[in-house]
Structure 1
Amino acid sequence: MKIAVMGMGVAGSYLMARLKDSDHEVVGYERMVEERHDSICAWGTIKPTLAEFCKKTGRDFNDFLIHDGKKMHVKMNDDVKFDIGLKGLCTYNKLALIKDFIKDSKIIYGPPPSIEELEKEYDMIVDCTGFHRVYLPKLKQDFFLPTYEYKVEYPDKVPYDDFYIEPFPGMSGYFWYFPLGERWAHIGAGDYNKQHMKATDDFLKKHGGKVLQTKGRPIRLATPDRCKPYYSGKVVGVGESIGTVYALLGEGIIPSMQCVEIFLENMNDFKAYEKAVEKHFKVYAKVFNFVHAKIQKNFSFLKALPDFISIFLYMKKNEDRFGMNIKVADLMKVAKA
């Protein structure tokens, strides 16, 4: 087939690398000009899982590793502070890996063709445009958080030696500090109640540092069960365009790459792809319902208890996937915020 992959973010670039040696003719499109091609949002991921994905493309993840986490410092308020032990959570040079994934592929930068032009030229159009979901029908009921982030350089001492987060009241989002080596960090926040910019600027004022980059974009929390259709005509969505973000953490890197693998197994049968996505991301709907109820202030812990137990058991079973020690007491602290 002749395939167009639209959007060179995490999902699109990884898909290009995975299709590189296939029998298909694959062309990637990125709406930004090459000099401005960037990767928005913090560079946090899980080392063992990303290492496996990289291995499938002949790459060594250690070439892109920046910081290997040991503890995540959590501050709920002045009275509730605790650490979560980490087992694989890290930061990596996300943009460098994206560019490495696509370095040997045909990529066309700049404003992309219309859907009509694409349909005339290609047998399949893969929508990896993330939140924007440019080539799929608009969602009837989307749900997203605005985010804002600085890349900061510290001349002397960094504020924290490891990961640091502050969940906002009602689980409406959280502030993050992600270390990027000895002198740099990503600081930012996403918040449904739109306090994300204030929280980020307050941290910058308190701890100082030189802002090197400013970034901001919405992140989709609506899960795959809420993001249908996954395909329409020749177009099929992969990654955040069909809701592959874990709502409790706002994490989308690994889920998007998992979605690529599901797509590759079912790319000749869109119905089978839809069923496989639904099965793999089934628990995400429970996570979303839990978080959404907290944000909308109609949360009842008694009603949410079955979902809470399911979420805890899922994360506990997949500790290596989430890169941290999962304790019911820690999850309770967040749930009660």
Structure 2
Amino acid sequence: MKIAVCGIGVAGSYLLSRLKHDHEVVGFERMPEERHDSICAWGTCRPRMEELCAKSGVDFNKYVIHDGKNMYVEMNNNEKFNIGLHGLCTYDKIRLIKDFTKGCKVNYGTSPKLEDLEAEFDIIVDCTGFHRVYLPKLEKDFFLPTYEYKVEYEGKVPYDDFFIKPFANMTGYFWYFPLGDKLAHIGAGDYMKKHIEETDKFLKEYGGKVIKTVGRPIRLATPNLCKPFYKGKVVGVGESIGTVYPLLGEGIIPSMECADIFVRNLGNNEKYEKEVMEHFKIYGKVFNFVRSKLSKDFSLLKQLGDMLSIFRYMKKNEARFGMEIHMRDLMKVAKA
């Protein structure tokens, strides 16, 4: 088939790599090639990424920058604790995206009209993330504004490993992700829109030279809230249909897993939607938990069932999240 992949981020580039040997695929990216860059921190889990990238004949280990051993957590009430890491890492996201697209025709700096794509392609894959350019707009969306700096340090870096600071009522969190000896991503996402203030506060305290600034919203609305997944020739994959884990704001692995499901069900949209809904079923409970905290409607008694489901899911998938999962840590976040 002739397939257009629109949006060459995590999901789009991975799809090109998976489809290019069996189909005629063409990529479209609205950003010019020289300005095409990652728009979120480069944190993911090494073991699961190794599995996913191997399906494209790519060795993920070549792209790893920092292997995490410990995550420092500071709550808004100044309580501090550590989470052991087993696989959480940062990686060169842009280089991996570029390598996924090798051998493919990618049209940079363009966002073609839907009618033009429909005239030329059998399938149009909407991997445009939050913007959801080619699918119908959502009646009720839910997103988190984010802001991030890539920072270079001359002397001692603020932290030797991952650091996060959740905000009150789980409105978001600040992050520090190491990128080698002297570089880091620092940033925040916050429903209450204090993300820029918190990021600048950290920069002022610890210094560093800002190399790059990015800001964008992240969709936290989960797949059960992001229908339709397809219309006409258009099918959504990744964040465009809500594949971001709401508790962490993490969408790299979920978006690639969504692309995997798309490849398995290529041409059968009903089966694709059914498998996506089943695979990401727990995300709806996670979203309800987060939303109850944001609306200050959280009750430990009312939400206990959902919390236990979330804990069991994350505990069962410790290797996928790359960190030790303990109920006591989830309770600390819930009570904050």
Could you say whether these structures have the same fold, taking a TM-score greater than 0.5 normalized by the shorter chain as the test?
yes
User: Relative to structure 2, which stretch is displaced further, 275-284 or 100-109?
Assistant: 100-109
Which position in structure 1 is the counterpart of 2:18? 18
Cα deviations by residue, 1:48-76 (Å, 9 ceiling, x for unpaired): 01111111111111110000000000000
CA-CA distance at 1:149 after TM superposition:
0.1
Take 2:270 and 2:92, find their aligned partners in 1: how far apart are those partners? 35
With normalisation by structure 2, the TM-score equals 0.99
Take 2:322 and 2:30, find their aligned partners in 1: how far apart are those partners? 33
Which position in structure 1 is the counterpart of 2:224? 225
Which position in structure 2 is the counterpart of 1:325? 324
The unaligned stretches of length 5 or more in structure 2 are none
Partner letter of residue 108 of structure 1? N
Which position in structure 2 is the counterpart of 1:122? 121
CA-CA distance at 1:111 after TM superposition:
2.1
Which position in structure 2 is the counterpart of 1:48? 47
Take 2:137 and 2:26, find their aligned partners in 1: how far apart are those partners? 24
CA-CA distance at 1:79 after TM superposition:
3.6
Q: Among the aligned pairs, what percent are the same residue?
A: 69
CA-CA distance at 1:77 after TM superposition:
3.2
User: Relative to structure 2, which stretch is displaced further, 159-168 or 69-78?
Assistant: 69-78
Which position in structure 2 is the counterpart of 1:2? 2
Take 1:299 and 1:139, find their aligned partners in 2: how far apart are those partners? 26
Cα deviations by residue, 1:131-183 (Å, 9 ceiling, x for unpaired): 00000000010000000000000001100000000000000000000000000
2:332 is paired with a residue whose SS is helix
Which position in structure 1 is the counterpart of 2:281? 282
Partner letter of residue 18 of structure 2? R
Cα deviations by residue, 1:184-236 (Å, 9 ceiling, x for unpaired): 00000000000100000000000000000000000000000000000000000
2:212 matches 1:210: no
- Residues 1-337 of structure 1 mapped to structure 2, 5 A cutoff: 1-22=1-22, 24-77=23-76, 79-337=78-336
Take 2:216 and 2:111, find their aligned partners in 1: how far apart are those partners? 20
Cα deviations by residue, 1:66-97 (Å, 9 ceiling, x for unpaired): 00000000000354100000010000001110
Take 1:63 and 1:271, find their aligned partners in 2: how far apart are those partners? 37
1:118 is paired with a residue whose SS is helix
User: Relative to structure 2, which stretch is displaced further, 197-206 or 99-108?
Assistant: 99-108
Partner letter of residue 192 of structure 2? N
With normalisation by structure 1, the TM-score equals 0.99
Take 2:74 and 2:38, find their aligned partners in 1: how far apart are those partners? 27
Take 2:126 and 2:204, find their aligned partners in 1: how far apart are those partners? 39
Question: In structure 2, do the counterparts of structure 1 residues 37 and 79 end up closer, same or farther at CA, with 3 Å as the change threshold?
Answer: closer
CA-CA distance at 1:113 after TM superposition:
1.6
Take 2:199 and 2:88, find their aligned partners in 1: how far apart are those partners? 22
Aligned structure 1 segments of 4 or more residues deviating by more than 2 angstroms = none
**RMSD over aligned Cα, in angstroms?**
0.7
Take 2:303 and 2:66, find their aligned partners in 1: how far apart are those partners? 36
Partner letter of residue 163 of structure 1? F
How many correspondences in the alignment? 336
Partner letter of residue 111 of structure 2? P
2:140 is paired with a residue whose SS is coil
Cα deviations by residue, 1:259-294 (Å, 9 ceiling, x for unpaired): 000001111110000100000000000000000110
Partner letter of residue 228 of structure 1? K
Take 1:134 and 1:65, find their aligned partners in 2: how far apart are those partners? 31
